[in-house]
Amino acid sequence: MRISPAAVAEILFSSSPEATPQEILVVRSIRFPRLFASLAAGASLAVSGAVLQGVLGNPLADPYTLGIASGAALGASVGIHLGGIWVSGAAFAGALAALGLAFLLSWRARGASSISMVLSGIVVSSILSAGVTLFKALSDERVSAIVLWLMGSFSGASVESAAAVFCGAVLLFAAAEWWGRELDAMSLGEGRAFFLGVREKRIKITLLVLASLAAALPAASFGIIGFVGLVGPHLVRLVLGPSHRPLLAASFLGGALLLAGADGAARALGELPVGVITALAGGPVFCWILVRQRGGDP
């Protein structure tokens, strides 16, 4: 439906807009929640990626490094397999359970060091991904619903779910901005922040939990959307440098615009899942970033 920008603004901000009931329904109940959800999810995933890359000191870290995506996927698969019972809640519980398991394995292995956190997340992700495959094999007629959820989509987004994701993004952004100097110190390497007077362990755990929470919220509400938390902060870092305070602000805005644009492209191409667009675009971009940073030839 073609609606002019002026008419959209009037529908959104006027109590009695001069528009048809169909236009009001499309703008207020379909397009606005979807746009709000894509902006909130993009900001949340990009800020989570920037924080995790700084805290773990690993440029390949993203919101799903700790197994969050696989945990959410397994939880949602269980919910869909049981007949669509509380899918979002099950996905969120699965994401947090995966985070807790990664923390436990890391702590038992090497005292929750950055390297052990990444390795533990990879192990947890592999195990839970096998569980998702098992549920897809057992779900019969519901397997298509599981597959569609795993690809991510904003087609059924609501203002309430978008607002929850946005609050998680703002909470993480505020905490990371507050500890921006400490993040700069921690990104120098394991243990070096201690000699600069930074209480590394307490800040690291707090930011890891908040970043995981901010990544789990969009995964639970809209499905698995990859590469935004990995590519977004890298692109911003190429322009602004490694300082975390400007990096976080630009990642918040850039991630929001990046995912909103990807969702617009997905809708224009015939209502494709947005996770397909981010994977197709994010993979080559990330390869280009790796080649550029190494200074090698493609």
Distance between CA atoms of residues 217 and 269, nearest Å: 26
Letter string b/e over residues 250-264, b meaning 16 or more CB atoms within 10 A of that residue's CB: bbbebbbebbbebbe
Distance between CA atoms of residues 38 and 41, nearest Å: 5
**Domains within the chain, CATH numbers bracketed:** 36-50+61-218+225-294 (1.10.3470.10)
One digit per residue, the tens of pLDDT, for the chain of length 298 reads 888 888 888 888 887 888 888 988 999 998 999 999 999 999 999 999 999 888 887 777 787 778 888 888 888 888 888 876 678 888 888 888 888 888 888 877 666 567 777 788 888 988 998 988 888 888 777 788 788 888 888 988 899 999 999 999 999 999 999 988 888 887 776 666 666 667 777 888 888 888 888 888 898 889 889 889 888 898 888 888 888 999 999 999 999 999 999 999 998 888 888 988 998 888 887 787 777 765 544 4
Kindly tell me the burial class for residue 295, based on how many C-beta atoms sit within 10 Å of its own C-beta (0-12, 13-18, 19 or more). exposed
